[in-house]
A and B are shown apart, each in its own frame.
Chain A
Amino acid sequence: GENVEQHPSTLSVQEGDSAVIKCTYSDSASNYFPWYKQELGKGPQLIIDIRSNVGEKKDQRIAVTLNKTAKHFSLHITETQPEDSAVYFCAAVEGGGSNYKLTFGKGTLLTVNP
């Protein structure tokens, strides 16, 4: 099955700096890579996703890059703000067919210091 590794496990940045979180996956058939943000007391919420036919996607201060050859993808947050502080999870979908399985990384606790 799919295996997703996520680094770092914790990340502390100053407000206004950039933050980068990296993930690798094992199943070359995986074709969909969402990123979730989980704030304290809430469930994970999708913030951006990328499909395997695209190398980069951007949404305001958030961007995701995908390198299918190397089987890794990254989340980039620019001009970080204190409200960006949360746990971020990457995930990969194991192919398609009749089942739909999200395999998650262990998460990165991002702290943005004012």
Chain B
Amino acid sequence: ETGVTQTPRHLVMGMTNKKSLKCEQHLGHNAMYWYKQSAKKPLELMFVYNFKEQTENNSVPSRFSPECPNSSHLFLHLHTLQPEDSALYLCASSQAAWGTGTDTQYFGPGTRLTVL
């Protein structure tokens, strides 16, 4: 295991539902990330939090709302999603998200999201 856990592992939701994805890291890191992984596309960075502050929003639609209450926990709140939002959502953490940018990112197992 990498020290990054994600729940739930699978989620099916309707377009009008509201749900949240949870990520927790046990590595003492200060930076956390959300990625979207779709079939036949590169991993897409969505959000970056560094010391609980959001430092990156990669033009993500507002129907995705991140929350980082502390350096160990990261949430992704979902509402009024579209079928094209179905994907694997990966959380990652690293020591920090600055400097030379050579800190290794450790990934969780992901949440497989299906939007009906």
Chain A interface residues toward B at CB < 8 A: 4, 31-32, 34, 36, 41-46, 49, 51, 89, 93-107
In chain B, positions 7-46 with a C-beta closer than 8 Å to chain A are 31, 40-43, 45
Q: B74: CB under 8 A from chain A?
A: no
Return the chain B residue nearest A6 by Cβ: B42
Contact B42 A106 (CB under 8 A): yes
With known contacts A41-B109, A99-B55, A34–B42 Cβ distance under 8 A: no
CB distance from B54 to the nearest CB of A (A): 11
Q: B81: CB under 8 A from chain A?
A: no
With known contacts A43-B108, A89-B43, A106-B41, A100–B4 Cβ distance under 8 A: no
With known contacts A104-B42, A107-B42, A99–B102 Cβ distance under 8 A: no
Contact B98 A100 (CB under 8 A): yes
CB distance from B104 to the nearest CB of A (A): 5
Return the chain A residue nearest B9 by Cβ: A41
**A46 is contacted by which of B56, B98, B100, B106 (Cβ under 8 Å)?**
B106
Contact A32 B100 (CB under 8 A): yes
Return the chain A residue nearest B102 by Cβ: A32
Please give, as numbers and ranges, the residues of chain B lying within 8 Å of A95 by CB-CB distance. Answer: 101
**B40 is contacted by which of A49, A98, A106 (Cβ under 8 Å)?**
A106
Most buried by A among B41, B43, B56, B92: B43
Contact A96 B42 (CB under 8 A): no
Complex A-B: 13 CB contacts under 8 Å: A31-B100, A36-B107, A43-B4, A49-B102, A51-B102, A96-B101, A99-B48, A99-B101, A100-B31, A101-B45, A101-B48, A106-B40, A106-B42
With known contacts A96-B100, A101-B56, A43–B90 Cβ distance under 8 A: yes
CB distance from B20 to the nearest CB of A (A): 19
Please give, as numbers and ranges, the residues of chain A lying within 8 Å of B99 by CB-CB distance. Answer: 96, 100
Q: B110: CB under 8 A from chain A?
A: yes
**A97 is contacted by which of B90, B98, B104, B109 (Cβ under 8 Å)?**
B98
CB distance from B111 to the nearest CB of A (A): 10
Return the chain A residue nearest B100 by Cβ: A96
CA distance A42 to B108 in the complex (A): 7
Contact B2 A94 (CB under 8 A): no
